[in-house]
Amino acid sequence: MRPVVLSVTGVGNSAVDPLDHYLTPFNVSLAVVVTGTITYTVQYTYDDVFAAGYTPASGNWLPHPSLTSQTATKDSNIAYPVRAVRLTTSAGSGTAALTVIQTGGGGV
């Protein structure tokens, strides 16, 4: 899949990036680049983000263990199936940009 970039300036939440939880193996690379001063967390969910009436604000979001309350550029991954990821910022006036790359399903 093509890389997806989710960006937040100041305090707030990014858009939601739905992932293909049917891919085997399920591999997602996450990289957050920080500009300025900002505190961010990458979150993931098992919720069906395509369900009728679903809103991210009322979703069940879990913090990524190594990308929680970070202030510097950092990367990590998710090796097990989840439905979606997003970036949330809690302090600062800088920008955090999350790049998401999903691979899997075999092939060449």
pLDDT the model gives residue 106: 55
pLDDT the model gives residue 2: 83
Options 2.60.120, 3.40.50, 1.10.357, 3.90.550; CATH of 4-103: 2.60.120
pLDDT the model gives residue 104: 74
Q: What is the mean pLDDT of the chain?
A: 95
Concatenating the DSSP letter of every residue in the chain gives: ---EEEEEESSEE---EE--TT-SS-EEEEEEEEESSEEEEEEEE-S-TTSTT--GGGS-EEE-TTSSSB-S-EEEEE-S--SEEEEEEEEESSEEEEEEEEE-S---
Residues of the chain predicted below pLDDT 50: 108
